[in-house]
């Protein structure tokens, strides 16, 4: 498998799943699913509800936690002590035994990988990208982390330590990127637009204010509970 992780180039058109033969594991999944439905262990509507729930989960959940930590020192302290409990404070329900938040600093940059498979905090970040599960990413993250980061456009100075964290079945990591300069007075909701999935994995940093989308509002919406400036 190649080691190209760039995201700023076009990709070839992918064929529809219906056009390619199902793999052995796909056939096993279909057989097991149909058997469970036949025996009334699970219904089609229950499966659909599970799929819809997974589709609703994305990096916006993790971004809420990071933005709250940037704004609220007390929450930040609680999150560093018990990130699972901190997630529940915001109404998020992690499904793992332990969540650890890794804070980036001017002298430390954290990077997350799962060297064995693809352990990933999907309730906070959504489904993992294909490159996160690839053998190339898993090996390069451990053996050549600075080179790997450079392929994502993230160039870490030699004076900054790069620390790699290996996820496991009962341990998940979430990177807290450094708050970008020029965001004084921004609300939590506005700050959350700067926090991306890749920055919470550690392969990039948070967006700069000029990269924010949608654009920063000039005045906070006081009807929004998260509009408090910080």
Could you list the active site residues?
114, 117-119
Tokens of 28: 């096993």
Nearest-angstrom CA–CA distance, 192 and 70: 10
Tokens of 195: 């926090």
Nearest-angstrom CA–CA distance, 19 and 167: 35
Nearest-angstrom CA–CA distance, 159 and 102: 19
Nearest-angstrom CA–CA distance, 75 and 103: 14
CA dihedral sign, ordered 61, 78, 68, 66 = negative
Decide: helix, strand or coil at residue 134.
coil
Residue 46 neighbours by CB distance under 10 Å:
12
Tokens of 69: 């930590």
Give the up-direction half-sphere exposure of residue 63: CA atoms within 13 A in the CB hemisphere. Answer: 22
């Amino acid at each position: 498998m190649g080691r190209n992780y760039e995201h700023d180039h076009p990709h070839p058109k992918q064929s529809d799943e219906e056009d390619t033969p199902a793999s052995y594991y796909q056939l096993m999944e279909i057989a097991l699913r149909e058997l469970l439905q036949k025996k009334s262990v699970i219904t089609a509507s229950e499966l659909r509800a599970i799929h819809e729930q997974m589709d609703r989960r994305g990096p916006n959940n993790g971004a809420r936690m990071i933005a709250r930590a940037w704004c609220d020192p007390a929450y930040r302290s609680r999150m560093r002590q018990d990130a699972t409990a901190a997630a529940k404070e915001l109404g998020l329900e992690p499904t793992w035994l332990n969540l650890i938040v890794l804070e980036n600093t001017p002298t430390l940059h954290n990077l997350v990988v799962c060297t064995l498979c693809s352990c990933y905090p999907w309730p906070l970040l959504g489904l993992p990208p294909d490159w996160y599960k690839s053998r190339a990413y898993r090996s390069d993250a451990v053996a050549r982390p600075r080179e790997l980061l450079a392929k994502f456009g993230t160039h870490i100075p030699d004076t900054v330590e790069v620390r790699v964290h290996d996820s496991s079945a009962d341990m998940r990591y979430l990177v807290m990127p450094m708050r970008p300069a020029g965001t004084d007075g921004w609300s939590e909701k506005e700050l959350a637009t700067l926090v991306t999935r890749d920055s919470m994995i550690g392969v990039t940093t948070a967006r700069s204010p000029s990269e924010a989308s949608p654009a920063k509002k000039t005045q906070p919406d006081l009807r929004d509970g998260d509009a408090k400036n910080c």
